[in-house]
Chain A
Amino acid sequence: MAKNEMPLWEVFIRPRNGLAHKHCGSVHAADEEMAIQAARDVYTRRGEGTSIWVVLSSAITASDPEHKDENFEPALSKVYRHPTFYKIPDDVGHM
């Protein structure tokens, strides 16, 4: 089978109303309708979802793993960006 006849699609499932669609895997399919069907058959067999998004994997631009040091390391040393210095009153409970 020629590669371009069954491109790869990334699948996003929303488990419940009010939650965001979450990436859960990928499927091969000829077009978007078949990709939705394949996603339904592969990823919602146990009642995982109420909504499905698919997007061509080739439409996703990813960060370069080689750039991970300059991309992400600078954030690690800036603890003051985390709101960990506030005192939470007991009455607020779990946040």
Chain B
Amino acid sequence: MAAQANIDRSTLVTFLLRLADDHLILGHRLSEWCGHAPMLEEDLAMPNMALDLIGQARALYQYAAEAEGEGRSEDDLAYLRRERDYLNCLMVERENGDFAHTMLRQLYFAAFMQPFWAGAVRSADATLAAIAGKAVKEVAYHVRHAGEWVVRLGDGTEESRRRMEQAIEALAPYVDEMFETDPVSEAIAEAGIAPDPASLREAFDRTVGTIFAEAGLEFQPVQFGQTGGRQGRHGEAMGYLLAELQHMQRTYPGAVW
């Protein structure tokens, strides 16, 4: 058994599900582009990133199922929960919109996760540290890939800039929620398992700030952001997403490759 931090089981499971759900849901969103991207190169790049995210989600669900110890499998957790049981932040469930919108959402989430994984590499929990060791390289590419696109669209044509500015406005209400702290995240940070989300804001602002400066874009903070994802309260888009995500397992229970 790998080294485990001193934490109560339900706190650890909630923490792992939040993290796993973020990655599964965003991975699913990116996979929706497969076959629809504006160019062949991106038609491969987005599913590549989606597969990174779903791979990370899988490792996290496996660990959550094991930590929970109630006989549920990774598939049960990924496919057979109800909407209110998903604990992802609202950012990742937002609809794809246009390509600019998708790339900005990707940059935001990757810029948030990069310092998280960098901290989790030294986790007191050996399983999470191992997952982080792989994820930290994958997320570095996501920041680079999405960041380069944000620069080129922001500093591109009049049309590409207009779309990037629209994306900034549309996603602004969902930024602050990613950094929310609550008793679960505090206990996890205190046990040395993973950084507290609030502590990642500085690195996020630096990453996004540098890219926006190069793109000539400006971040427009909102006074009152949206919240609720971590408690299972989701936007309208989430139900449609889950309907598609869960369709196969609901229709053919227990189906495997």
Contact = CB atoms under 8 A, between A and B. Distances in A.
B39 A41 contact: no
B159 to A, nearest CB: 11
B148 A34 contact: yes
B36 to A, nearest CB: 16
Interface in B124-148: 141, 144-145, 148
A21 interface: no
Nearest to B38: A1
Interface residues of B, number: 11
A24 interface: no
Interface residues of A, number: 14
A40 B41 CA distance: 10
B48 interface: yes
Given A28-B41, A30-B152, A45-B48, 16 more contacts: A27-B41, A28-B39, A31-B152, A33-B148, A34-B148, A37-B145, A37-B148, A38-B41, A38-B45, A41-B41, A41-B45, A41-B145, A42-B40, A42-B41, A42-B44, A45-B44
A38 B40 CA distance: 9
A6 interface: yes
B contact face: mostly helix, strand, loop, or mixed: helix
Interface of B: 39-41, 44-45, 48, 141, 144-145, 148, 152
A44 B40 CA distance: 15
A40 B214 CA distance: 23
A27 to B, nearest CB: 5
A43 B97 CA distance: 27
Nearest to B49: A41
Contacts of B152: 30-31, 34
A34 B141 CA distance: 12
Contact of B48 (A6, A27, A41): A41
A13 interface: no
Contacts of A41: 41, 44-45, 48, 145
Contacts of B145: 37, 41
A34 B39 CA distance: 13
Contacts of B48: 41, 45
Interface in A19-55: 27-31, 33-34, 37-38, 40-42, 45
Nearest to A38: B41
Contacts of A42: 40-41, 44
B49 to A, nearest CB: 9
B40 A6 contact: no
A6 B148 CA distance: 15
A38 B145 CA distance: 9
Contacts of B141: 40
Contacts of B148: 33-34, 37
B110 to A, nearest CB: 14
Nearest to A43: B44
A37 B45 CA distance: 9
Contacts of A30: 152
